[in-house]
């Protein structure tokens, strides 16, 4: 029996709202084909007014009436929600819950035939420039399913198909990575102010430089070490800055920071 909603979403927080806006505003899905539940019904109703989606206060109803069921709740809330719908038997599940593995989702819902896709999105999804890594291996035999899941997340940025075992590493790079970028930009801004620029001038220069550098990496076939070398004229200014980075073991700081993030991601998954 065909279900009335193409996509059901349990949870309507920051990331879920970004997914919903991306799907509807890009015309990938019509609002009438989406149903969303949340403990704060007023939040869902507001989203309903904006996008034409159906607001609901019953997780069970959402699970029963949706072809694809997206979990967009905090990991610590999953056991309670799973208990509500364990006998509903959703066929196709998508999860953006950090640290909740597919086998735990399947076991919690009590059904062995459930297919689960796990996704690690990042904050820039909210402005359409996100990076999503998705394990869709459960759906590999069905092109229609993999296309739906990929296109749902394509509405918010770029999608990398990967395997679940790599999602902890993904968390350390793209999942948490925006915070590293913000820290770098903020440090450049403060350094600019320290050297005589206004805050607005320093921010404008720093942000555009990061954007421009990323565009060069995307559009150049040169390896990154060569791009670095191209900016570092012998006896010039840039090489002096690079020397300071190297003297303070900049790369090791990055390695250690990512390793700490990955380690914590693994701990949360256990």
Q: What confidence score (pLDDT) does residue 111 get?
A: 60
Segments of the chain scoring below 70 in pLDDT: 111-112
pTM of the model: 0.89
Residue 112: what pLDDT? 60
- Calpha distance 232→240 (Å, rounded): 9
The DSSP string of 116-150 is EEEEE--GGGGGT-EEEEEE-GGGTT-HHHHHHHH
Give me the architecture of the 5-163 domain, per CATH: 3-Layer(aba) Sandwich (3.40)
pLDDT per residue as tens digits for the range 110-134: 766 789 999 999 999 999 999 999 9
Per-chain mean pLDDT for the chain? 94
* Domain ranges, ordered by start, for the chain: 5-163, 175-269
Distance CA 236, CA 250 (A): 20
Q: Domain 175-269 falls in which CATH fold?
A: ProC C-terminal domain-like fold (1.10.3730)
């Amino acid at each position: 029996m065909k279900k009335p909603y193409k996509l059901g979403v349990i949870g309507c927080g920051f990331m879920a709202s970004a997914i919903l806006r991306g799907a509807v505003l890009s015309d990938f899905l019509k609002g009438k084909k989406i149903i969303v539940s949340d403990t704060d019904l007023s939040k869902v109703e507001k989203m309903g007014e904006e996008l034409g989606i159906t607001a609901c206060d019953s997780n069970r109803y959402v699970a029963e009436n949706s072809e694809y069921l997206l979990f967009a709740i905090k990991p610590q809330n999953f056991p309670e929600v799973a208990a509500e719908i364990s006998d509903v038997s959703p066929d196709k599940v998508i999860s953006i819950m950090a640290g909740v593995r597919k086998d735990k989702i399947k076991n919690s819902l009590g059904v062995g035939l459930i297919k689960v896709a796990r996704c690690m999105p990042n904050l820039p999804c909210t402005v359409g420039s996100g990076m999503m890594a998705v394990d869709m291996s459960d759906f590999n035999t069905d092109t229609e399913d993999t296309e739906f899941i990929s296109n749902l997340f394509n509405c918010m940025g770029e999608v990398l198909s990967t395997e679940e075992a790599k999602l902890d590493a993904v968390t350390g790079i793209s999942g948490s990575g925006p915070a590293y970028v913000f820290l770098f930009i903020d440090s450049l801004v403060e350094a600019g102010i320290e050297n005589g620029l206004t805050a607005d001038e320093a921010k404008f220069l720093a942000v555009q430089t990061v954007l421009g550098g990323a565009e060069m990496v995307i559009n150049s076939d040169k390896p990154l070490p060569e791009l670095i070398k191209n900016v570092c004229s012998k006896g010039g200014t840039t090489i002096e800055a690079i020397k300071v980075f190297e003297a303070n073991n900049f790369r090791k700081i990055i390695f250690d920071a990512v390793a700490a993030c990955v380690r914590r991601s693994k701990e949360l998954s256990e």
